[in-house]
Amino acid sequence: MNSVQKGKFITVEGQDGAGKTTNIEFICDQLKQRGIDVLLTREPGGTKLGEELRDLMLNGHDLRINDMAELLMMFAARAQHISEVIKPAISAGTWVLCDRFTDATFAYQSGGRGLPPHSVETLQRLVQGELQPDLTLLLDVDLSTGQARSRQRNSGQDRFESEQTAFKQRVRDAYLELARRHPNRICVIDASLKLSEVQKQILQVLNRFVESAL
């Protein structure tokens, strides 16, 4: 019996305003051009339950959501996403490209909000088991560039985008610390450069990864 080769799991991370949306579409196109079957999805979200939770967490609707409740909602959305979307796709040989995953929880709920990292680690083990991204691209920008780009988008700010500068600095620092701890999985992209330069760096990482995977 032929077993289907498993798909890869790629995540894209970065602070708000790092240029994730533009670059994730670029990554998706690049993978498709190489004949790879790709599923683009996002967190929080990716399922009906996940999108409902996303709306509650990002848009607030005058809800009070304490830090622990927020953490559990992120992982509730993730549990559904993993079982309904991510695992079935990977098993069928599809590559999953996900706009944020658990590194964002370490960065925002632990780094930003100040919850202890072991709470995130405990939930990570419980919800993900062995599942980890094969590759993570971390789009890194300095705070002022990120904030200027967020302002340019000119859409209303969500609960995370409206946080103070100190929160955003902690999010960035936590992301960079994760990259130091997982140098084989997380590739830091200097996203403060102009788009063509950012995409040149992304291509280098992708080409290397695809070559080793196919």
Going from the C-alpha of 169 to that of each of 77, 112, 151, 188, 207, the distances in angstroms are 26, 8, 17, 16, 31
Q: Of residues 19, 44, 50, 111, which one binds ligand TYD by CB under 6 A?
A: 44
Count the Cβ atoms, other than its own, within 10 Å of residue 24: 23
> What is the spatial distance between Cα 190 and Cα 147, in angstroms, rounded to a whole number?
16
108 binds ligand TYD (CB under 6 A): yes
**Site track 147-176 with ligand TYD (rule: CB under 6 A), x = hit:** -------------x----------------
Q: Of residues 12, 23, 31, 43, which one binds ligand TYD by CB under 6 A?
A: 43
105 binds ligand TYD (CB under 6 A): yes
Near ligand TYD in 48-87, by CB under 6 A: 58, 74
Q: Least separation, in Å, of the C-beta of 116 and ligand TYD?
A: 15
Closest CA to 8 of 50, 37, 33, 46: 37
Q: Between 154 and 212, whose beta carbon lies closer to ligand TYD?
A: 154
Closest CA to 78 of 57, 110, 53, 59: 53
> 127 and 76 in contact (C-beta within 8 Å)?
no
Handedness of CA 85, 89, 94, 96 (dihedral sign): positive
Q: Mark the segment that binds ligand TYD (CB under 6 A) among 30-38, 102-110, 129-137, 139-147.
A: 102-110
Contacts with ligand TYD, residue ranges (CB under 6 A): 16, 20-21, 43-44, 58, 74, 99-100, 104-105, 108-109, 160
